[in-house]
Amino acid sequence: MTDTLADSRTSSREFIEGVPVVVEDVPRRPAAERNEVLADPGFGRYFTDSMFIARYRAGEGWYDARLTGYAPLQVDPATAALHYAQSIFEGLKAYVQPDGSVATFRPEANAARFVRGAKRLAMPPVPEEAFIAAVDALVDAERDWVPTGPDQTLYLRPYQLASEPFLGVRPANEYLFLAIASPAGAYFSRGVHPVTVYLSEEYIRAAPGGTGDIKSAGNYAASLLAQEEAIAAGCDQVVWLDAVEKRYVEEMGTNNLFFVLGEGDDAELVTPELTGTLLAGITRDSLITVARELGYRVTERKFSVEEWRRGVTDGTVTETFGCGTAAVITPVGEVKARTGGFVIGDGGPGPLTMRLREHLLDVQHGRVPDTHGWLHRVG
């Protein structure tokens, strides 16, 4: 990382007390180039002109916080994170509001989860206010990269990794905290399509006492083979079962799951309870609140494959959907498994799935009042 202190300035923003966010003059792509990307950004393919980076050293704490040009990192080949995956990440989005301002959605919940993740991996946590300050500084600097098309967003990826060059297996003494930003198109740009899922009866995602409840990099490496198998079986996503009995449904890929029991105003939502092996999604939490406000009963409990299969067959389970920051809500149309598959409802997106999806998108994009203070204005 080259320091260009000559053409940098110290903003009024602080990362943590006594550590200002230094704002460098970074090369910016011309508007025409940017607009070309924003016309069809896809997901996770393009990155904005700048990034946030701060460093940590044991005994010194966090230091050298700056907004700098988006560029490759130069790391030592012995960098601990590359060997032992002492590394966590977050995912949240910035949304253009109807008045032209920009807001992130519940960033304090991401900040709190990031602290929990750091502690679990024996890393020094980034204080919650510092996490939010970093994300705010990045969004503010990249205001022009927040796309304005229907349901388009700027996806934000804060992450922390052990940067100490040392091959001993112990918590590192040096860390990097970064945040990068990537414009994201509407997830379902050609209408909402249900996914077909594959029950993973061989591989597991998370075990009791493990790291399933945090966004640690290693979890995702361990999930890829099962996801590849799901695709080979003609499915879009893998569904994870509990590691001990392989009986209860836990998650779908990197989404939490909801099941709709019954229909109409009397419909009940069931979502697997947070046993410690599930990731506590912020979308999941928001949907529990929103659904209750709309008058639906929501229950957090264990939900077995057997109950799912039987319910779909006898008509008591009418809808199933996954939820997460990236796609908000994804309907599940069909389940495939070695033990026999089934089609949910008529295989199309269910009415409650679509109602909740529209409602949460409306909140995030500021189209309905934000009654919970979930939107965090930036700039």
Give Cα 93 to chain centroid, integer Å.
Answer: 9
Which of 238, 282, 327, 356 binds ligand PLP (CB under 6 A)? It is 282
Q: Which of residues 186-215 bind ligand PLP (CB under 6 A)?
A: 215
CB of 323 to ligand PLP, least distance (A): 6
With CB under 6 A as the rule, give the number of residues binding ligand PLP. Answer: 13
Name the packing angle between helices 282-293 and 107-120 (round to 10°). Answer: 140
CB of 355 to ligand PLP, least distance (A): 18
CB of 150 to ligand PLP, least distance (A): 21
Q: Which of residues 234-263 bind ligand PLP (CB under 6 A)?
A: 251, 254-256
First to last CA, the chain: 27
The type of residue at 126 is V
**Where do the DSSP E strands lie in the chain?**
8-16, 19-24, 50-57, 61-69, 87-89, 92-96, 102-105, 153-162, 174-184, 195-200, 237-241, 249-252, 255-261, 268-271, 297-300, 317-324, 328-336, 342-343, 375-378
Would you say 34 or 106 has its CB closer to ligand PLP? 106
Which of 50, 283, 320, 353 binds ligand PLP (CB under 6 A)? It is 283
Would you say 19 or 121 has its CB closer to ligand PLP? 121
Which of 281, 331, 333, 345 binds ligand PLP (CB under 6 A)? It is 281
CB of 225 to ligand PLP, least distance (A): 16
Which of 125, 185, 324, 333 binds ligand PLP (CB under 6 A)? It is 324
Helix, coil or strand: residue 355: helix
Q: Which of residues 60-119 bind ligand PLP (CB under 6 A)?
A: 91
CB of 253 to ligand PLP, least distance (A): 7
Would you say 160 or 283 has its CB closer to ligand PLP? 283
User: The tokens of 204 are what?
Assistant: 């597991």
Residue among 102, 101, 96 nearest 150 (CA): 96
DSSP string, 296-310: -EEEE---BHHHHHH
Would you say 215 or 365 has its CB closer to ligand PLP? 215
Which of 96, 279, 337, 344 binds ligand PLP (CB under 6 A)? It is 279
Q: CA 168, CA 337: separation in Å to the nearest integer?
A: 42
Name the packing angle between helices 107-120 and 128-141 (round to 10°). Answer: 130
Q: CA 73, CA 1: separation in Å to the nearest integer?
A: 7
CB of 254 to ligand PLP, least distance (A): 4
Task: Tell me if 325 contacts ligand PLP by CB under 6 A.
Answer: yes
Helix, coil or strand: residue 232: helix
Instruction: List contacts with ligand PLP (CB under 6 A).
Output: 91, 215, 251, 254-256, 279, 281-284, 324-325
